[in-house]
Amino acid sequence: MHPALKDTLGPGTFFWLVGYLAGMVLFFTPFSGSMGWIIMVIFTPFTIAVTWWWFRPRAHLSLQYYAGVGIAWMLIAVVLDYLFIVLLFGTTTYYALHIFVYYALMFLIPAGVGLYLNRAGNVAQSG
């Protein structure tokens, strides 16, 4: 599989699926009204850690590459949310502030991790 497809489809779909399944579990708890924020607080550090682990062993990748991965992850989240939440469950009140923050994080996390890895690599090379 092409590395760009592997970097976008693999982790992007995995992160969406983990959040989706967590949402299904939380939906049947007393915390269902706050489940979006709960999932975000729990899974943002998880997503950052897994993204760092995924890209750390790689040779230097450009910031544009990481931004492209972020755009792909964001689009995966938008499309799968629409298909498997909005259409499947017929919800008209799905899109709230935490959803838009989640979409932004799906772009910012790989871009931020890439920026960190590139800077850490440059410091290691010069020092």
pLDDT, residue 31, reads 93
Rounded CA-CA distance 85/30 in Å is 20
Helix axes 35-55, 97-126, angle to 10 degrees: 20
Rounded CA-CA distance 113/56 in Å is 9
Nearest to 105 by CA among 62, 80, 73: 73
Taking only the tens of pLDDT, the chain with its 127 residues reads: 799 999 999 999 999 999 999 999 999 999 989 999 999 999 999 999 999 999 999 888 999 999 999 999 999 999 999 999 999 999 888 899 999 999 999 999 999 999 999 998 766 666 5
pLDDT, residue 120, reads 85
Q: Which amino acid is at 67?
A: A
pLDDT, residue 7, reads 96
Question: What would the 3-class secondary structure string for 48-90 be?
Answer: HHHHHHHHCCCCCCCHHHHHHHHHHHHHHHHHHHHHHHHHHHC
End-to-end CA distance of the chain: 35
Q: Are 12 and 73 in contact (CB under 8 A)?
A: yes
Name the pTM for this structure.
0.92
